[in-house]
Amino acid sequence: MKKLVIIDTFNFLHRAYYAIPKSFRAPDNTPTNAVYGVSSMIISLINEIKPDYMIAALDSKKPTFRVEEFSNYKAQRKEMDEELSIQIPLVFEAIEKMGILKINCEGYEADDVIGTLVERYKNDFNIYLLSNDRDLWQLISENVRVMLPNTKGNFEEINLSNVKDRLEFDKNYLVDYKALRGDTADNIPGVYGIGEVTAKKLISEYQTIENIYQHIEEIKPEGLKKKLIESVESAYLSKKLATIILDCPIVLDIEASKLKPGVSEELISLFEKLNFKSLLKRLNVPEKKTEVSDLQINLF
């Protein structure tokens, strides 16, 4: 089967920004640490996976349906740093010049775009999801795995054979776990007073939120039962917020995401403009006389 890589773009944009030193600057003093980190990660992935097709999934610019359902969804997140926001056009430019197709869907998050693409193409491709977001683990199947990069430029594969050990419960119940435990990163409330251990125990015994409430009179101790009863609306809302949509209205000719061989002159020109000498070296572009900066080697 052909290989399709889908990138959780903003997930890695943020990761790169905080992982790579802010001293990374273009000759005109434009900050470039996020651009460098994302570009480096993509190069490492292409070298390891050798994909045939590649897509960068993006969040909607407009508020998503989750905000309409729950106005506090992700409301606690601070504003994006200016030095990160000004790099977004450069990140998009680098992605485009690598020949990677960008896709978003108005009113939906990147996770929903990824989920829809996985649902649509999981029987036709071996799919690799590039993300640190555990929410995407609910999409893992026989032909779908998640690739977790580390700072050494390697990737850990999360697949059907190891995802249960990592979660300590079946990945099909990940949204039910989040409905109980909540998620501070996304401001999903969950059930007040239930922590990780109790949530895993309930999932192990009852699997789903629906089954928990169908057997609510069996729940012990009484204090736990009371917490569940008092937070029933929050639990069901949290599950809805955590569930990835699999049928976004995306129009796509998959052949438009097919990678072309070689390195484009446009990408070489961009990396030269940004002074990404170590990345050019990894792309086997002949070096100019200037030495490769030690700072730019082996950060991803």
Residue with more model confidence, 68 or 117: 117
Question: What SS3 class is residue 158?
Answer: strand
pLDDT of 72: 63
Domain co-membership, 155 together with 207: no
CATH of the domain at 114: 3.40.50.1010
Domain co-membership, 134 together with 273: yes
Distance CA 288, CA 44 (A): 22
Is residue 14 domain-resident? yes
Give the percent of the chain with pLDDT over 70: 91
Is residue 187 domain-resident? yes
Question: What SS3 class is residue 130?
Answer: strand
Q: What is the per-residue pLDDT across 113-152, written as a single tens digit (0 to 9) for each?
A: 999 999 999 999 999 999 999 999 999 999 999 999 876 6
Please determine, for residue 189, whether its predicted confidence score (pLDDT) is greater than 70. Answer: yes
Domain co-membership, 63 together with 198: no
Domain co-membership, 53 together with 132: yes
Range with the poorest average pLDDT among 45-54, 224-233, 289-298: 289-298
The whole-number average pLDDT for the span 171-180 is 96
Residue with more model confidence, 64 or 1: 1
Domain co-membership, 195 together with 291: no
Split into its structural domains, the chain has a count of: 2
Model confidence band, residue 290 (pLDDT cutoffs 50, 70, 90): very low
Range with the poorest average pLDDT among 99-113, 169-183, 276-290: 276-290
The whole-number average pLDDT for the span 230-239 is 94
Is residue 132 domain-resident? yes
What is the overall mean pLDDT for the chain? Answer: 90
Is residue 266 domain-resident? yes
Please determine, for residue 153, whether its predicted confidence score (pLDDT) is greater than 80. Answer: no
Is residue 111 domain-resident? yes
Contact yes or no for 163/74 (Cβ under 8 A) = no
* pTM assigned to the model: 0.89
The whole-number average pLDDT for the span 45-59 is 95
> What CA–CA distances, in Å, run from 171 to 38, 119, 164, 185, 203?
28, 16, 6, 19, 11
Q: What is the per-residue pLDDT across 15-37, written as a single tens digit (0 to 9) for each?
A: 889 889 999 999 999 999 999 99
Could you tell me the residue range of the domain that residue 189 belongs to?
166-242
Is residue 300 domain-resident? no
pLDDT of 25: 94
Domain co-membership, 11 together with 103: yes
pLDDT of 79: 75
Distance CA 273, CA 288 (A): 13
Domain co-membership, 137 together with 185: no
The whole-number average pLDDT for the span 93-122 is 96
Distance CA 22, CA 166 (A): 33
Q: What is the per-residue pLDDT across 241-280, written as a single tens digit (0 to 9) for each?
A: 999 999 999 999 999 999 998 899 999 999 999 999 999 9
Domain co-membership, 78 together with 187: no
The whole-number average pLDDT for the span 173-188 is 90
pLDDT of 151: 64
Domain co-membership, 143 together with 223: no
pLDDT of 300: 39
Please determine, for residue 299, whether its predicted confidence score (pLDDT) is greater than 60. Answer: no
Q: Which tokens in the block code for residue 68?
A: 């309409």
Domain end marker among 227, 242, 257: 242
Domain co-membership, 8 together with 123: yes
Model confidence band, residue 297 (pLDDT cutoffs 50, 70, 90): very low
Domain co-membership, 186 together with 173: yes
Contact yes or no for 190/238 (Cβ under 8 A) = yes
Please determine, for residue 77, whether its predicted confidence score (pLDDT) is greater than 70. Answer: no
Is residue 141 domain-resident? yes
The whole-number average pLDDT for the span 90-95 is 96
CATH of the domain at 177: 1.10.150.20
Domain co-membership, 196 together with 79: no
